[in-house]
Structures are given as structure tokens and as C-alpha cells.
Chain A
Amino acid sequence: MSSTNRTVVVTGIGATTPLGGDSASTWEGLLAGRSGVRPLEDERFAGLPVRIAAVAAVDPGDVLPRPLARRLDRSAQFALIAAREAWADAGYTAKAGEDTAVDPDRLGTVIASGIGGVTTLLDQYDVLKERGERRVSPHTVPMLMPNSPSANVSLEVGARAGVHTPVSACASGAEAIGYAVEMIRTGRADVVVAGGTEAAIHPLPVAAFANMMAMSKNNDEPTKASRPYDTARDGFVLGEGAGVIVLESAEHATARGARIYCEVLGQGLSSDAHHIAQPEPTGRGIAKAMENLLDNTDLKPAEIAHLNAHATSTPQGDVAEVKALRRVLGDDLDHVAVSATKSMTGHLLGGAGGIETVATVLALYHRMAPPTINVDDLDEDVDADIVRDTSRELPAGTIAAINNSFGFGGHNVVLALRTV
């Protein structure tokens, strides 16, 4: 039963983030404008230039049974928790192969991470040095491989149509969702569990990002540190967690009477070929991705009511993104309510595209745009309608939303979603 250009819809959502252990508490935190950024009290971070992060609100070790948790990297733990929520939210039963509402051969998983099992790698290196090779966990390789979250979720739901893990740094989660949409559209699968996860709050990645001058050093005021579009922004705040959605062909979802949150129209992709880590300052690549999105889908600029921006709170990146959108959308950017949810969640790297897609799905479903917090003094180069301080209602009727994710390496991913 293969077909092409099928309509793809979202039927389930799940998340575990710095704002809450599930999608409902995360959404509540977002609408309330709460910051998930906290000081890193662990002595391992003492002496580092950055001692703040957006730590997960609920520790995954408190959710998963210990025998399962000890053989999963923290990134896979987050992914599994978010995927279980999304799977149940879509109305499926939890166990592999037990649910007759979906054919395992038509079910896939695409869960991405930017860095993979980095804490497992580093912790096991400590074990090797301190306790010897015999004590290195035999689970180390299956834990650290970047496809581990996707593979473990496939074991959970019994997906046999394909397990994939696109890797594109901070665009990974969004690229995963775009890949999943293509799997369904091209007829490879009817249902795909897709999203992003990340767990990299460890002294080594923190020191490395800090040395790139990419992170905020506002250790004294953690909740004020992530401040996209504000003149005092000085870099991103590292976050951790996962966001996962269940994507489904509209016919499959309708046939089983599933609740449909929204449609995913598709993606626009491009790459910068500019610098390994710096954003292209004019936003040319971002504009190209946006143009490709408009070419590839039936999205009309007039119907775009909301943008979940990439906006990580870096001096260059936030402005380049807005410039690019203005260039492509022109006056149509004026009716777009722009939210930078990283002001509250921090930057989850490969998990960002996952949780921000969950936020975008909910924004359309509830017709409510979450605020961007900490914009005390809006940068005059930000020529867009930023939703500041408090959440804002979105218009009635058919509306669309854009979710942007860009990554080190010059990856640009723009996703479009629309109410049904």
C-alpha cells in the first residue's frame, strides 16, 4: 500500500524537559513564562566559567525502573519517557507488537540527538582509568551510539519499517521529524515516532561550549541568562530533555478514529557552507530553507500566524534568523507571533527540534503562543513581532506555524505545521 504525497498529521505528543516531566507540565511552564535554568551545584562544575544549565525537571532515573535505566544513556532515557507518553497519547498501547491498530512493518522511529551518549562515554572512560578495563560496562557501546535512543524506542513500540537517526547538531531533532514526514509521505511507513533528545550537561561539553564563547556566563542570575532578542544576550544556556511526537498518515489516523492535533506540511532544508560553527550573518541559508519550504508545500505566507524561532540567545544568530524571515516573507512576517521558547527551556541541542515541535503543535492546538521571557530591552535589529512576557492568543480559522532549527555545520531545517 505505497503511495506518495500523503497528508501527514500529528496524533501524539510527549516531552520531558527542564520545565516538566511530561508535555502537559512543560506546556504549563511555557505559558507561564517560567525559566528552567538553574545553578549547577555539583562540585564537578566548580571553577568552570559556566555554572548554569536547564536541567531536566524530573530525573529520568526516578521514572524508569533501575535495571532498564542502568543500560540506557541519559539521552535514551529521556527519549524513552517522551516516546512512551506520545505513544499512549496517540491512543496506542505501550508494548511492542501487542497493538493491533498498527502494523509493525509500517511503523518506524526517527529520534535524533546532537551529541549522542556523551556522558556514558566520559563516565566509562573514568571507570577505565580508575577501576580498570574489566569494570567497563558491556553496555557502553549500545549506550553511547547516537542511534541508541531511536533503536530503544523501536524496541519499545515494535517498529520494523526502519529506525533512523539524522545527525545535524542542533538541527537534529527537527531533521528527524522532517525525515519521518518523508517516510510517511513516500509510503515507507504509516506511523512514525519521531523527535529529538539530548543529555550533555557534563563538565566536558560545558567547558568546550564555553571555550567557543557560545554560552551565557550569567552565573549570578540563572533565570535571566537565556534572553533571545534582548540587547544583553551573551550566549545560549545548555538544556537537556526530549520531545517526541507520533506522526501518522491522515488516512491511517482517520481510519482508527485518532485525535488529530494538526497537520505537518513538510520541511525546507538548506546548508550554509560558510563556517563550521558560526551562523552565516545575512541569514542567506535560512532564507533558502524557508523558500524551499514554500516551494515544497502548499503553505501560504498569509496563513502563518506563529513562529517557534531557533533563537538561542546568541548575539549573531538571533538577528540573522529574523532578517532571513523578513527577506522571504516580507510584510507577511508582521502577522507572525514569534516565540523563542529557549528563553525558558535553554537550548537542548539535538533535543531542541523535538521539544519545540511539541510546543508548536500545542500552540496551534490551543491557539496560544508562549512568551519569550527576559526581553527587557529589545534589540532594534529584531524587526519582528516578538511575543514578550506573557502568552498571546492566536487567531481563529486555519492558521499555520513554522518551527526553525539550525545547527553547527551550517544545517538549516524549517518545519511547517497547520491546524486541521
Chain B
Amino acid sequence: MAATLEEIVDGLAEIVNEIAGIPVEDVQLDKSFTDDLDVDSLSMVEVVVAAEERFDVKIPDDDVKNLKTVGDAADYIAKHQAA
């Protein structure tokens, strides 16, 4: 069953917390991974791989560069996750 947008944001918050140590409540839709959440390009790869596993979705490397904010990633996952 597909996750709701809210579930996806909560999941991303847990992943970002695990990888970058940012409190889950600070991981909001408008936050930039790089500028606000201390996720550098290497850690972004970790976030993507963890999200792929958690939400059963494939995020090709070419698409990762478009995922600037938590909202970008949540929308992408909602759209592409297995039904």
C-alpha cells in the first residue's frame, strides 16, 4: 500500500535524523537538504538509498539533483512509489 505524503515526510525525517542528526521536528517540507539539514552530497546518497528501501521506489541518480528540499523528495516518492 502506498504511503501518504505525511507518512513519507515522517519517514524522511527519521532518515535525516539518523544520517545527519537533525531533530525530526526540524525536517519540514520547505527545508533544503544541503542548506538547512546538514546533508552534504555524500550523505544525500545515503538518504536516497534509505528512502528507496523504505518506500519501495527507485530514484535514479539523474533525478537526485532535482530533489533540493524535503518537499521535492516527498512529492517524487509519492508519485513514483509502487502502487
Contact = CB atoms under 8 A, between A and B. Distances in A.
Interface string B21-51: 1000000000000000010001101100100
Interface SS majority for chain B: helix
A301 interface: no
Contacts of B38: 67
Interface of A: 65-68, 70-71, 134-135, 137-139, 142
A66 B21 CA distance: 7
B20 A137 contact: no
B13 to A, nearest CB: 14
A137 B46 contact: yes
Contact of B21 (A67, A137, A138): A67
A5 B19 CA distance: 47
Contact of A134 (B19, B21, B43, B49): B49
Contacts, number: 24
Contacts of B18: 66-67
Given A66-B21, A134-B52, 18 more contacts: A65-B21, A66-B18, A67-B18, A67-B19, A67-B20, A67-B38, A68-B21, A70-B19, A71-B42, A71-B43, A134-B49, A135-B49, A137-B46, A138-B42, A138-B43, A139-B42, A139-B46, A142-B42
A151 to B, nearest CB: 14
Contacts of A138: 42-43, 45-46
A415 B21 CA distance: 42
Nearest to A142: B42
Select the residue from A65, A66, A138, A142 with max chain B CB neighbours within 10 A.
A138
21 contacts: A65-B21, A66-B18, A66-B21, A67-B18, A67-B19, A67-B38, A68-B21, A70-B19, A71-B42, A71-B43, A134-B49, A134-B52, A135-B49, A137-B46, A138-B42, A138-B43, A138-B46, A139-B42, A139-B43, A139-B46, A142-B42
Residue in A66, A67, A137, A139 whose Cβ sees the most chain B Cβ within 10 Å? A67
Nearest to A131: B53
Contacts of B42: 71, 138-139, 142
8 nearest CB pairs, A to B: A67-B21, A138-B45, A138-B42, A67-B20, A139-B42, A65-B21, A134-B49, A138-B46
